[in-house]
Amino acid sequence: MFVVKPPEMTEETPADLIHAVDDAKSFARLTGAGPTAMADLERYRSYLTDWNQKMNLVGPKTLEAFWSRHAWDSAQVLRFAPDALTWADLGTGAGLPGIVLAILGKSRPGYHVHLVESLTKRCRFLTEVVNGLELPATVHNSRAEDLSLAVDIVTARACAPLSRLLGYSRPYFQRGATALFLKGQDVVSDLEEASKSWDFDAEVLQSLSDERGRIVCVKRLGRGR
């Protein structure tokens, strides 16, 4: 079963967080990112810009809105799992949200992000970023469902329909993971389709980066039907 919940607004997550990030300064204010993290994010932005000329990592126009479209959209998931130390980002592509999560958790003891990507050329990009920024991350050139990693949180952004994403994630759930999937405005139909094949419990939360976006929190995944 699944439920759609409105965002839980507190002093830490006010309603005006949505669309509040339009530059580096506002990103730092909302996330608490320090100078080192901000410098790493700027370097990551440069990596994206340079490599995007060689391969299709992200839409070129979206780089103009890097802080809201990519950095804040990725960073927001930390608010839903502030104590998580280990993450697996499935179909990470350009490293979103995984690279951003690795940058923001770089100083935390025991923190690690697994970047899972099946395309070798994207893994070359990810490896260069991880090595260049000395991030607590491992690049896995593999299909997500072929790995069985023990992590606190499994996440994905613009990776696949939920019915397929749950299949990719099943090995991680079997080892105790919870999921936070970044989704768009058609999430209800996506959930309904997935419920035809899977037995799962999920909550749908409001994205803080885009009023049309949603975050699907899956806490239990049973066998496919």
Can you read off the two tokens belonging to residue 7? Answer: 């965002």
Kind plus residue range of the DSSP H or E element containing 218: strand 214-224
Would you state the pLDDT for residue 81? 96
Would you state the pLDDT for residue 223? 75
Would you state the pLDDT for residue 15? 54
Q: What proportion of the chain, given as a percentage, has pLDDT over 70?
A: 91
The pLDDT tens digits of the residues spanning 154-165 come to: 999 988 999 999
103 neighbors 79 (Cβ within 8 angstroms): no
DSSP state of 146: G
Strands 153-157 and 86-90: parallel
Would you state the pLDDT for residue 22? 84
Low-confidence ranges of the chain (pLDDT < 70): 1-19, 224-225
Can you read off the two tokens belonging to residue 193? Answer: 């389709």
**b or e along 91-100 (b: 16 or more beta carbons within 10 Å of the residue's beta carbon)?**
bbbbbbbbbb
Give the Cα-Cα-Cα angle 36, 42, 44 (nearest 5 degrees): 100
CATH topology of domain 17-180: Rossmann fold (3.40.50)
223 neighbors 199 (Cβ within 8 angstroms): yes
The model carries a pTM of 0.92
Would you state the pLDDT for residue 9? 42
Q: What is the dihedral of CA 7, 108, 72, 168, to 10 degrees?
A: -80
Would you state the pLDDT for residue 48? 97
For 3, 31, 98, 116, 224, the CA distances from 165, given in Å and listed in that order, are 18, 28, 16, 13, 12
Backbone angles phi, psi at 13, to 5 degrees: -130, 70
Domain ranges across the chain: 17-180
Would you state the pLDDT for residue 211? 85
Can you read off the two tokens belonging to residue 13? Answer: 């997550």
